[in-house]
Structure 1
């Protein structure tokens, strides 16, 4: 007769659990250290001089200073770049969510196979690497006079993130019960009224999760500003941070300060929308 632990498990299973638990804790601790230690180096480095950073990267600053933040904003021009990134990101996210929600609603409500056909064409953009479309995009935008402009960056970011947004929102909108739309039709609601009164309120978690994802993508985009922007006044934050990297020496303390400044809006957006984020991640996973 086997001996059972007081929790109901066999004694052998209880011993195996006790052996596995320290290994799991060790693995989690190593994973957390791999994330936390670089963050500490960056955060402490923003208050240090370059020699002190090289001498003791993991130790707290002995004489904290805000000069690196002043240099990043003043000499590095991060103030203007921050404003440009905010304009481009907010504009691109708002435009993408507007177009994607309408397109996803059409794909979910279109009769027959028309919705699936349009959905497939839009989502097919996920299979096209951004680098493959750079040359035709640049030629087209240059002929339209949209290069070296914030409006051009808004449009190109919207174009490249639209398939992702349609994919996420389309999966959720298809999970909304058909009975809700039928009840709205009986009340005389047209497609736009159903979209505004039914689809949008129920899609808030998915819109928030998609908005966070798009915000991070557009905010951190370096490829298109590097290709499209030529003037100093239209630079975005990722492009402005490149100025701290020289041919022979990189100014790490002001660069780290710029990274902290650039990361702050992403953290703020996530904190404001975190209650929708988890529910939005699973939106559309189960059909109602």
Structure 2
């Protein structure tokens, strides 16, 4: 049967995430993870579904893509189809048609045949990202977490404002006024109440003064599979104290308690601070690639 590209109904979001979970394994190649869907779900279920592309053959998904911004598609291909040239060429034609007349980025890490097909169609490599991993099958070294002397709590509705404030400071750095706080907390609520909420574990780190200083959300793909860090941030006024490493280790500990085989993340090579934080947390780099046109 012909490979077809579909936009799923919102009711299928959980099923799409389940399928994507089955494609996560060690060593992790850095492709789309159910946690990426979870973090993106702050837009609401309807828009979340509209941002997905599922390539199916005989009713079985072989590739899943998520629109992440106006010109970025983040993808995962079923590992059993990663070398399938016919599947790759069909997807590449779809992607080429959708990108006609404008610059676009396709993140296709791990999709060997698709990467080759994209190159053959004229796509070129863009700025690389580096997948990083920490295995969780042995006891974690939590020395850096203990040394930071932080109080780690699970974030919930009563602490959503604290979580949002640290994230805002880390990634935006602009004043967090009441309107911005309300909008961001509402979007965070979409995540923790959405179709992927059972995969999420959000953490806040408080210092000795009771101030929130670092946050993360980690996402499970099921027992025995890699769990994702997405996102991790430290308040911009608290950099240089080891809090990024500490909250990353706290996230790893949470994933280990929920049966994850490893904790993974993909970081931009152009962001040395993030790479250094993850390395200091005992994460090691694997190979990375990102294609663009």
Give the number of the structure whose residues are more often helix, by fraction. 1
Category of TM-score, reference length = shorter chain: under 0.3
TM-score, normalising length: structure 1: 0.25
| Structure number, greater radius of gyration | 1
More strand by share: 2
